[in-house]
Amino acid sequence: MSKGLQTKARIVDVAADLIQTSGYHAMGINQITAHGKIPKGSLYFHFPGGKEAIALAAIEQGGQTVQSILCEARQGADTTEAFISAVVEAFCALLTNTGFQKGCPVSSITLEMAPGSDPITAACKDVFDRWHHEIEEALVQLKCSHPNKPALATLLLSAIEGSLIICRAQKNTRSLEETKDLLLPLCATN
């Protein structure tokens, strides 16, 4: 990777961390340059659209991170129950490994900025739509017996997202684990 691409990736990494831990409004250009030890000129070179453009890149990166978790869980599972368990285990690990500073990479900016910024709202919607599609595909591929897989995918995504927020507030993974236990019977494989 070229030095320019490394710098651009570093900007997005720092912004994503700041958004998750402090929120969009606390993620300023000065904070990004200070935390990432990045010259301001490099930031504007790679992101002439400024703060919002950086946030959009961070949303996309966060979307890809969770997409990878979902894909890996689906590829490693032979039942829908195993898929859900793997997803929850991955998020539990993320929470504990970051001292409960990070959960969903997109939820905080969604709560803070949607619907105030049309570009950010559209980017968050796109990410959530992709995650929903990935979950629904897993339910179909793994032969979930539930008759309404689109609605079940919405329930799974919503329940896990909500549990991630509760886990961060409580600084434990109990909510995710309890949610998993309640969801597993709904996701039985044929």
| Amino acid, single-letter form, for residue 158 | S
Identify the pLDDT of residue 103.
86
Question: How many separate domains does the chain show?
Answer: 1
Percent of the chain with pLDDT over 90: 85
Identify the pLDDT of residue 190.
75
Q: Is the pLDDT of residue 1 over 80?
A: no
Q: What values do phi and psi take at 142, rounded to 5?
A: -90, 10
**The domain containing residue 120 runs over which residues?**
3-187
Residue 155: HSE in the Cβ half-sphere, 13 Å Cα cutoff: 15
Rounded mean pLDDT, 177-183: 97
Q: What values do phi and psi take at 168, rounded to 5?
A: -65, -40
In angstroms, the CA 184 to CA 190 distance is 13
Rounded mean pLDDT, 112-136: 95
What tens digit of pLDDT does each residue of 49-68 get?
999 999 999 999 999 999 99
What tens digit of pLDDT does each residue of 81-91 get?
999 999 999 99
What tens digit of pLDDT does each residue of 108-118 get?
899 999 888 99
The answer to whether the predicted template modeling score (pTM) of the entire model surpasses 0.85 is yes
The CATH code of the domain that includes 180 is 1.10.357.10
Identify the pLDDT of residue 189.
81
Identify the pLDDT of residue 114.
87
What tens digit of pLDDT does each residue of 136-167 get?
999 999 999 999 999 999 999 999 999 999 99
Q: Is the pLDDT of residue 39 over 80?
A: yes
